């Protein structure tokens, strides 16, 4: 590889230092806000190999990426994904990468937690919307709560810091979120709550599910003392500490409070497509330049051209008049 490449700065002056990589579009769950039950996934032949994904990631790291998150679909269902983690961990050892992490539904963590820790992963985000086993099955359609809880136990036992991600869903978990937070904080885990975003056709009606987090915060403030803090992970959450529990709670509010002005990230899919914004359709194909030559010059140029097209922000809308997703692809294509 040719070093050094110029770092990536977009036309709005935002430095791109965070790469999210969706290693598969497949998943062992079918969360109702994320997917339709009857999903069609990519044929296996369209997937980049793990070696190709690793090469792409390495070029991004050479171009200034400091935080890399593997996601999906469910990243831990991709065959041999641990080999990719192992390869990427070299960049942690060299100091080029500050953080290698994952967002996972937790179903496979019992199997992989130790290996992840051995390869330098320090922190994981586990998505969990309810602690009620039957509601968990209702929301994930195919998931089993006990497996996820065992996975969280395994991750903590391996020394990994776990953050719980919960999508706030009106009429589903809004009443339970304070208890979920108490539980997470009681186990030494931070939690973030997320506003549902209008991505991909799902079977449910998003207008019914959508809960503005300003409402949740007002409700929480009747029971808890929330203190805003400047804590930052590089992700979009704005954090408070909760005096009564001693834990941190993050609010991810793409709908009610746009955080695009401080955006630092782009997304790579398992087919080598680069999405410059989660909330827009525009994308750049990196597979062709990846395969066109053994050197990385073409790839680097294609990335620069794509970063030059990174938009200012999303145009998400959820309301009764606009009963269509703002973006046609599902969240699982880019991994959130």
Which entry of ligand SF4, ligand SAM, ligand GTP, none binds 199, CB below 5 to 8 A by partner kind?
ligand SAM
Q: Quick one: CA dihedral 21, 68, 87, 118, positive or negative?
A: negative
* 3-class DSSP assignment, residue 287: helix
Site membership for ligand SAM, residue 268 (CB under 6 A) = no
- Burial of residue 23, with CB atoms counted within 10 A of its CB: 0-12 exposed, 13-18 middle, 19 or more buried: buried
Shortest Å distance, C-beta 278 to ligand GTP? 4
Site membership for ligand SAM, residue 74 (CB under 6 A) = yes
**DSSP secondary structure, 47-92, as one string:** SPPHHHHHHHHHHHHHTT--EEEEESS-GGGSTTHHHHHHHHHHHH
Shortest Å distance, C-beta 3 to ligand GTP? 27
Residue closer to ligand SAM (CB basis): 236 or 336: 336
The HSE-up count of residue 77 (CA atoms within 13 Å, CB side) is: 14
CA gyration radius, the chain: 19
Shortest Å distance, C-beta 302 to ligand GTP? 21
Q: Which residues are annotated as a binding site?
A: 20, 27, 31, 33-34, 69, 73, 103, 127, 163, 197, 260, 263, 265-267, 277
Which entry of ligand SAM, ligand GTP, ligand SF4, none binds 235, CB below 5 to 8 A by partner kind?
ligand GTP
Site membership for ligand SF4, residue 334 (CB under 6 A) = no
* 3-class DSSP assignment, residue 178: helix
What is the contact surface with ligand GTP in residues (CB under 6 A)?
71, 103, 125, 163, 165, 194, 233-237, 252, 254, 263, 265, 278-279, 314, 336
Of residues 94 through 153, those in contact with ligand SF4 by CB under 6 A are 105, 127
Q: Which residue is nearest to ligand GTP (CB)?
A: 235
Residue closer to ligand GTP (CB basis): 177 or 290: 177
Site membership for ligand SF4, residue 278 (CB under 6 A) = yes
Site membership for ligand SF4, residue 41 (CB under 6 A) = no
Question: For residues 292 and 44, is the Cβ–Cβ distance under 8 A?
Answer: no
Question: For residues 194 and 166, is the Cβ–Cβ distance under 8 A?
Answer: yes
Shortest Å distance, C-beta 302 to ligand SAM? 25
CA distance 48 to 23: 9
Q: Which residues are annotated as a binding site for GTP?
A: 20, 69, 103, 163, 265-267
For the chain, the first-to-last Cα distance in angstroms comes to 30
Longest dimension (CA), the chain: 60
Q: Which stretch binds ligand SAM (CB under 6 A): 38-46, 152-160, 195-203, 233-241?
A: 195-203
Site membership for ligand SAM, residue 272 (CB under 6 A) = no
Buried residues in 278-301 as b, exposed as e (16+ CB within 10 A): bbbeebbebbebbeeeeebeebbe
Q: Out of 53, 194, 216, 327, which residue is the one contacting ligand SAM (CB under 6 A)?
A: 194
Shortest Å distance, C-beta 165 to ligand SAM? 4
Please state, in angstroms and as integers, the Cα–Cα distance from residue 266 to each residue in 71, 208, 256, 335, following that order: 13, 30, 22, 11
Site membership for ligand SAM, residue 325 (CB under 6 A) = no
The footprint of ligand SF4 (CB under 6 A) covers 27, 29-31, 34-35, 72-74, 105, 127, 236, 259-260, 263, 265, 277-279, 313-314, 331-332
């Amino acid at each position: 590889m040719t070093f050094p490449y110029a770092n990536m700065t977009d036309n709005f002056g935002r430095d791109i230092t965070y790469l999210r990589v969706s290693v598969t579009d497949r998943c062992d769950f079918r969360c109702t806000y994320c997917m339709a039950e009857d999903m069609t996934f990519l044929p296996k032949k369209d997937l980049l190999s793990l070696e190709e994904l690793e090469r792409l990631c390495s070029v991004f790291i050479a171009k200034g990426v400091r935080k890399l998150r593997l996601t999906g679909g469910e990243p831990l269902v991709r065959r041999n994904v641990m080999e990719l983690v192992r390869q990427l961990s070299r960049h942690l050892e060299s100091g080029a990468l500050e953080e290698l992490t994952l967002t996972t539904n937790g179903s496979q963590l019992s199997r992989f937690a130790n290996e992840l820790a051995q390869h330098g992963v320090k922190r994981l985000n586990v998505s969990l919307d309810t602690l009620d086993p039957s509601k968990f099955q209702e929301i994930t359609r195919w998931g089993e709560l006990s497996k996820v809880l065992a996975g969280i136990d395994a991750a903590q036992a391996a020394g990994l810091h776990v953050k719980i991600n919960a999508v706030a869903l009106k009429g589903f978990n809004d009443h339970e979120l304070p208890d979920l937070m108490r539980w997470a904080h009681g186990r030494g885990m931070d939690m973030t709550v997320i506003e549902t975003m209008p991505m991909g056709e799902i079977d449910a009606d998003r207008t019914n599910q959508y809960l503005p987090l300003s409402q949740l915060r007002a409700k929480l403030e009747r029971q808890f003392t929330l203190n805003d803090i400047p804590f930052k992970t590089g992700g979009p959450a704005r954090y408070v500490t909760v005096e009564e529990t001693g834990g941190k709670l993050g609010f991810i509010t793409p709908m009610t409070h746009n955080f695009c002005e401080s955006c630092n990230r782009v997304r790579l899919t398992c087919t080598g497509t680069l999405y410059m914004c989660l909330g827009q359709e525009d994308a750049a194909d990196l597979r062709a330049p990846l395969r066109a030559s053994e050197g990385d010059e073409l790839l680097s140029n294609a990335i620069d051209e794509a970063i030059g097209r990174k938009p200012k922000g999303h145009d998400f809308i959820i309301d009764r008049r606009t009963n269509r997703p703002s973006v046609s692809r599902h969240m699982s294509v880019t991994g959130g």
